[in-house]
Amino acid sequence: MTSTTRRIILSCLFIFIAICICLGIIGAIWTGVIILEPSLTSRLTFGSGPSATVYKPAVTPRLVAQYPTPIKSSATSTSNVLTDTQTPLPPGSTPIDTPTPPPGPGIPPAVASQMDEIQQQVSQLRGLQANQPVNRNLMTNDQLRQRVSSDFLKDYSPEQAQDDAIELYTFGLLDPKFDLLSFYQSLLTEQVAGFYDNKTKEMYVIQAENFTGMERFNFSHEYDHFLQDQNFDIQNGLNYNEEVCKKETEHCAAVQALLEGDATLLSLQWLKTYATSQDIKDLQKAAADIKQPIYDSAPDFIKQDFTFPYQAGQVFVQQLYNQGGWETVDQAYHNLPVSTEQILHPERYPNDTPASVSLPDFSSILGADYREIARNTLGEWYTFLVLAYGLDQEARIDSDKSQRAAEGWGGDSYVVYYNDVDQTSIMILVTMWDDTSEANQFSSTFREYATKRFGNPTNDQNEMVSWLDTGGYTEYHINGKQTIWIYGPTKEIAEVIWGKIQP
């Protein structure tokens, strides 16, 4: 999807809703002892209650944030800090030497000691070592709010946010007047529990009052990100950086899911192996007390996409882990997943790669008033979201049916234009499907979706269907295993576009 809406967790964040997901994976809690299911679920459940849907393995919006200047935390309270209830390494295990880090500004010695121990535990579990110490910082919520405004979103302008809203609107996901910039500022301030900055090599844990089980759990997750960076080079080795993610959003969505899935599985293993009874009580209390009004009020597709790297990523990494432990997971960093399709369907990794689809420049036929605001790849995950989690709830397709329609995805390309004068938008999406039967299945579901969204078709033929409503004109073509969706203000513009695609 958009280079901005897929960049939200580039710097390895851990969010509170993901922590709740982690706790939900736990099988049982008896007398303070966590029992982890021996084989974590291989199917993802989205939503809740009787209408919850299951998406086979088979998201958040994805903003690429930059963090050039670390914020140093002030001293924090150390009352009730856990200092003498740590679990030792398992019998027979060999301690891994980890570089001794500086204590960090404002970090009390007792907390620094806990951090040292958790680092050794994580290195032992993950089987990775660091060749340099990590700079560790505690951050208050007020400091996080400042960081979000001055750093995370410093290069995300109101104009870019408006273009993103328009882009998402053309796919039926968002109101074009939705204030994405203000929303992201509030969402990140509410949700971020910790993060690792792979540019400055610094790690931050958000601390409300004390260094409790919540902070310890977060620390295990973020230290795994540091080990990933030390061993695989997140920015350059994995090509997970802003320059690449602007153009190759499917690549970055897949790498993000690998990174977050790895850290999520590791933190669950740490919880099972090393968490104290006090840690568990702290986490239970935090989960019961958590309030997230911004996340709860978010558009539904954003809520789904925000958790994608943790949920789908954890399932993907678990499948690799089941095949050969962390060594098999490590191999994935040398043979990266390349699409959300591979994340959603681990059995398709690494051989099922997307087909290359290209679109021409339509500027010459659209006129000078139209400017290109986006050119990218939708991917299987967002194809599913468009059908199942659109803004118009009446137009949504049952999630199971949307899943089946999207899973034949084989590659795509889209472009969006916008006219600032008359405030009209144009979107062209060309998708290649695995075969003609998959193209036909998606087309049948899309016809149902578009009829719910736009009303009865104005033209209905075997290979072309069109709809006209107050918002504009939609034309849909099927050509073998290729489909073309054109959205614009008028039928005449759609015909000109179609003439350039199929002269």
List of domains in the chain: 13-347 (no CATH), 363-501 (3.40.1000.70)
**pLDDT at residue 213, rounded to an integer:** 94
Token output for 424: 């009209």
Mean of all residue pLDDT scores within the chain = 84
Sign of the Cα torsion 449, 249, 10, 230 reads: positive
CA distance 445 to 431: 14
What per-residue confidence (pLDDT) applies to 10? 60
Convert the pLDDT of each residue in 302-337 to its tens digit.
999 999 999 999 999 999 999 999 999 999 999 999
**pLDDT above 60: residue 61:** no
- Per-residue pLDDT tens over the stretch 389-410: 999 999 999 999 999 999 999 9
Which pLDDT score, from 0 to 100, does residue 496 have?
97
CA distances in angstroms from 306 to 21, 183, 260, 299, listed in the order given = 12, 13, 12, 11
Q: How much is the average pLDDT of 420-448?
A: 98
3-state secondary structure 364-424: HHHCCCEEEEEEECCHHHHHHHHHHCCCCHHHCCCHHHHHHHHCCEEEEEEEEEEECCCCE
Residue pLDDT, tens place only, 112-165: 999 999 999 999 999 999 999 999 999 998 899 888 888 888 888 999 999 999
**Residue 198: its pLDDT value, please?**
87
Can you tell me the distance from the alpha carbon of 274 to that of 227, in angstroms, rounded to the nearest whole number? 18
| pLDDT score, position 281 | 92
Residue 101 has pLDDT above 60, yes or no: no
pLDDT at 22 over 90: no
- Confidence band, pLDDT 50/70/90 cuts, at residue 45: very low
Per-residue confidence band for 287, with pLDDT thresholds at 50, 70 and 90: confident
- The SS3 call for residue 206 is strand
Cβ burial 239-258 (10 Å sphere, 16+ → b, else e): bbbbebbbebbbbbbbbbbb
pLDDT exceeds 70 at position 3: no
Write down the pTM of the prediction. Answer: 0.86
Does position 248 have pLDDT exceeding 80, yes or no?
A: yes
Residue 197 scores a pLDDT above 70: yes
Q: At 35, which amino acid appears?
A: I
How many other C-beta atoms can be found within 10 angstroms of the C-beta atom of residue 131?
A: 8
| CB neighbourhood size of 178 (10 A) | 20
The C-alpha atoms of residue 243 and residue 7 are separated, in whole angstroms, by 11
Cα(452)–Cα(268) distance, integer angstroms: 42
CA quadruple 241, 246, 247, 252: dihedral positive or negative? Answer: positive
